[in-house]
């Protein structure tokens, strides 16, 4: 495999995992609405709160929605800036998925036809170690991982929300983010395991 093929493949996998996790939160968030008593925290009905969450995710994912508007939650200038920064990262991930999907799938199909997916086994084994390490760190101290994650991705402190100015943070509990992180690691691990499994199948046929 050529270097650009490896690059597009890894970019596709990582970006697809990010986008897949974002989409998965549509199903995860209702669980935490009830688990953490978020309706009591905001005084809204389930339908109204979920509608606000949908408005937030629409802004973060859809390029034609250029203004953040949540029906029942105001945003401070710094809060709005943080969501704008998050939006840029999400749109970048989604864009990478669309740009790299065709060459990555084409590479996978070519190697499948040649029974050469064994080439994925070693790199994917290495990749499979990453979620284990990060998962272990999260289990030891999720707060530290969460803070470090934001420090790496953002060049400001806008992610440190003041509940009085950005009440949306009251209905985005920490354990929700922890499960989102865990879901992303699990999705990545599943992709690695699938590649290793298919690679070993091809190795037995060669």
Provide the pLDDT for residue 206: 61
Taking the C-alpha atoms of residue 46 and residue 56, their distance in angstroms, rounded to an integer, is 15
**Average pLDDT score over residue span 4-30:** 96
Mean pLDDT for all residues in the chain: 95
Q: Which of 79, 69, 93 is nearest to 12 (CA)?
A: 93
Arithmetic mean of pLDDT, 119-129: 95
Among residues 171, 192, 198, the alpha carbon closest in space to that of 54 is found at 171
Q: How far, CA to CA in Å, does 189 sit from each of 17, 35, 128, 130, 151?
A: 10, 27, 6, 9, 25
pLDDT given at position 1: 75
- Cα–Cα distance list, 156 to 57, 65, 82, 85, 119 (Å): 22, 24, 9, 10, 41
- Across the range 164-171, mean pLDDT stands at 95
State the Cα angle at 91 between 86 and 95, rounded to 5°.
150
DSSP string, 38-87: HHHHHT--HHHHHHHHHHHHHHHH-TT--S--BTTB---HHHHHHHHHHH
How many separate helices (H) and strands (E) can be counted in the chain? 6, 0
> Which residues are CB-neighbours of 26 under 8 A, at least 6 positions away?
54, 57
pLDDT of residue 119: 94
pLDDT tens-digit profile of 92-115? 999 999 999 999 999 999 999 999
């Amino acid at each position: 495999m050529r270097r650009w093929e490896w690059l597009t493949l890894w970019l596709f996998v990582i970006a697809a995992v990010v986008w897949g996790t974002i989409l998965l939160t549509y199903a995860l968030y209702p669980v935490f609405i009830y688990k953490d008593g978020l309706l009591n925290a905001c005084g809204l009905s389930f339908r109204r709160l979920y509608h606000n969450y949908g408005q937030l995710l629409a802004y973060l994912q859809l390029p034609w929605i250029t203004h953040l508007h949540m029906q029942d939650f105001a945003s401070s200038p710094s809060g709005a800036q943080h969501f704008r920064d998050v939006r840029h990262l999400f749109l970048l991930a989604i864009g990478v998925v669309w740009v790299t999907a065709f060459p990555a799938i084409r590479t996978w199909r070519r190697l499948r036809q040649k029974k050469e997916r064994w080439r994925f086994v070693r790199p994917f084994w290495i990749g499979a170690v990453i979620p284990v390490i990060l998962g272990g760190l999260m289990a030891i101290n999720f707060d530290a991982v969460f803070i470090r994650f934001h420090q790496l991705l953002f060049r400001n402190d806008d992610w440190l929300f003041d509940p009085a100015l950005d009440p949306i943070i009251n209905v985005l509990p920490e354990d929700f983010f922890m499960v989102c992180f865990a879901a992303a690691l699990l999705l990545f691990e599943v992709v690695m395991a699938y590649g290793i499994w298919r690679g070993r199948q091809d190795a037995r046929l060669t």
